[in-house]
Amino acid sequence: MEERLIYTVTEEILKEHNINALWTEPVTKDIDGILTITYKGIKQKFYVEIKKELRNYQLDQIFHQAKTYDPLVVIAETIFPNIRNTLKEHKIGYIDLNGNINIEADNFLLKIEGDNKRYHHPEKHGRAFTKAGLKTILLFLVNEEKINDTYREIAKNTGIALGNVKLILDGLIDEGFVLRKNDRELKLTNKKDLLQKWITGYNEKLKPTLLLGNFKFMKAGDFNKWKELKIDGENTFWGGEAAGNIYTGYLLPQTLTLYTNEKKLDLMKKYRLIPDNKGNITVFERFWRFGWENDNVVPPIIAYADLLETNDRRCIETAQKIYEQHLKNTIE
């Protein structure tokens, strides 16, 4: 993906405007590369961060990078108008495949409005990022060894139809996220990109279908005693801000999230909840079938995705702590 983006930007988009650009590899893993642009006789070097599709939850990371690597330019396939405006406000440059360019530095200014119909996402017809695919990817990201289980075992651990397993694996191979080591063994690859794509798919496609409702405690004061609740560790798990608190000790929850297999009436009775569309407790259906070693909190990947979705700075900071402490060693 990165090589194609770099080529399109340097050899097509910038050259259309008679702008010369030279790409060099970075000397640090903190950035993706360096772009030296010559425009109107002025040569300027920019640090570059590459994203497939820039999302709000990734902005905090970009802001942090920009403090060290200045001037910074983000290159992405798509950057939506609201995010482009946010980058402008923070003096961070951008280039996308629609030809939208906004780059500033000392004595250097390059602004071009692109054609938002120019770039079309290639349609993928595989099953990798369907709802069933997202459930399967979670299993593999949590325990990569499961990718070489039998199709029947994968179906059992994800709750998907047996016939979907091969289609999902073929889709992951086609998209470059699974490699065949030999006739019998598969291996995940590009796991960081896979995680980011899973988060987007999970929050947009799968999670909305899992919502069971919003609730509040019968006694408002019980909210601050949430840790004292004796939840069913086999069927009910803390997610969202509560999971962030459990994993890092950093976040004081303002809302609570539960994932459960328990029936609604049992849930209300056991935990003294009442339905409330504006309640500060959101309940989702538990969708994973595999065993999980921590009996009262969702896997870190789900907590990470929940927190990033909020676009709340304190939640995003907590998400980054979860990534550093619980995900980085297996993802990178």
Where is 83: in which H helix or E strand?
helix 81-89
What does the pLDDT read at residue 203?
92
Contacts of 297 (CB under 8 A, 6+ apart): 237, 238, 239, 242, 243, 246, 247, 303
What does the pLDDT read at residue 245?
96
Segments making up each domain of the chain, as ranges: 2-112, 131-189, 208-331
What does the pLDDT read at residue 1?
57
User: How does pLDDT run across 117-138, given as a tens digit for each residue?
Assistant: 665 555 454 689 999 999 999 9
Please choose, from the candidates 295, 297, 294, 292, the residue with its C-alpha nearest in 3D space to the C-alpha of residue 307: 297
Decide if domain 2-112 falls under CATH 3.40.390: no
* Residue stretches of the chain with pLDDT short of 50: 123, 125
- CA dist 218 → 172, 238, 242, 274, 285 (Å): 46, 19, 19, 6, 22
Joined together, the tokens standing for residue 255 give 């809302």
What does the pLDDT read at residue 168?
94
Rounded-to-integer distance, Cα 21 and Cα 24, Å: 10
Please choose, from the candidates 61, 5, 71, the residue with its C-alpha nearest in 3D space to the C-alpha of residue 30: 61
pTM of the predicted model as reported, rounded to 2 decimal places: 0.74
Strand order in the sheet with 108-112: 20-24, 33-39, 42-53, 72-78, 93-96, 101-105, 108-112
Where is 228: in which H helix or E strand?
none
Topology of domain 131-189, CATH: Arc Repressor Mutant, subunit A (1.10.10)
Using DSSP, state whether 205 is helix, strand or coil. helix
User: How does pLDDT run across 35-53, given as a tens digit for each residue?
Assistant: 999 988 889 999 999 988 8
Beta-strand runs (E) in the chain: 20-24, 33-39, 42-53, 72-78, 93-96, 101-105, 108-112, 178-180, 186-188, 211-217, 236-239, 256-260, 273-275, 281-285
- Do residues 165 and 147 make contact, with C-beta atoms less than 8 angstroms apart? no
What does the pLDDT read at residue 119?
57
Contacts of 160 (CB under 8 A, 6+ apart): 132, 135, 136, 154, 168
Residue 20 has φ and ψ, to the nearest 5°, of -85, 140
What does the pLDDT read at residue 298?
96
Compute the Cα dihedral for 246, 251, 256, 258 and give only its sign.
negative
Helix/strand/coil percentages in the chain, nearest 5: 45, 25, 30
